[in-house]
Chains A and B, each alone.
Chain A
Amino acid sequence: EVQLVESGGDLVQPGGSLRLSCAASGFSLNTYWTHWVRQAPGKGLEWVARMNSEGASISHADAVKGRFTISRDNAKNTFFLQMGSLRADDTAVYYCAISRFSTSSLDSWGQGTLVSVSP
């Protein structure tokens, strides 16, 4: 069974840092593109970042560019979101997701992890 499990969400002060992890099981991550998507309380979905299967092509949404970095460790079947200079408007549930190059849709999603940024 394909499964993605996020971890690392926490309460953090403004200006702080956090690293989210997404562990994949039931399949090999190394042929998939990896993504992070967030959802602020009561709001819609916001795509955050993606990385291709080789790790050579990376994109980040303008709202997080320069503050967040997506990365992956195919050997550990895990990918990450390093978050820095956190602000109150980064408060959200963060979902990890995967896509295939052939379709580019977000085929499978984790259950989400909550990041709260507050003094």
Chain B
Amino acid sequence: DIQMTQSPSSLSASLGDRVTITCRASEDISTYLHWYQQRPGKAPKLLIFAASNLQSGVPSRFSGSGSGTDFTLTISSLQPEDFATYYCQQSYSALYTFGPGTKLEIK
């Protein structure tokens, strides 16, 4: 199975900060990498698909990049509603896998 790792596992930041979350795959997954946001008690929400494509309705302060094994999610200027947990997920193999998550907290 393809293993996904994320760093950091948690992050404290302030409103207006620029933050970057990293996701790494255990093997080359091309751009079959997606990012999700999950607020407490809510279902996950797709933010970025295929590594760098912004899902419809998602604010442009979110962006993604990368290919192969290394990927990043960047939030350019943190807003109050962005404090949540973020997951990457690969769909390159038939057995999809998620990263362990990055919890973004208010400093």
Contacts and interface: CB of A to CB of B under 8 A. Distances in A.
B62 interface: no
Interface string B51-92: 001010000000000000000000000000000010101010
A37 B101 CA distance: 15
Nearest to B38: A45
B32 A47 contact: no
A106 B36 contact: yes
Given A45-B98, A47-B98, A62 B46 contact: no
Contacts of B97: 47
Contacts of B18: none
Contacts of A106: 34, 36, 44, 46, 89
Contact of B44 (A61, A104, A109): A109
B98 A44 contact: yes
Contact of B98 (A46, A105, A109, A111): A46
A104 B50 CA distance: 8
Contacts of A108: 46
25 contacts: A44-B85, A44-B87, A44-B98, A44-B100, A44-B101, A45-B36, A45-B38, A45-B44, A45-B89, A45-B101, A47-B89, A47-B95, A47-B98, A57-B94, A62-B1, A99-B91, A103-B50, A103-B53, A104-B32, A105-B34, A106-B34, A107-B55, A109-B43, A109-B44, A109-B45
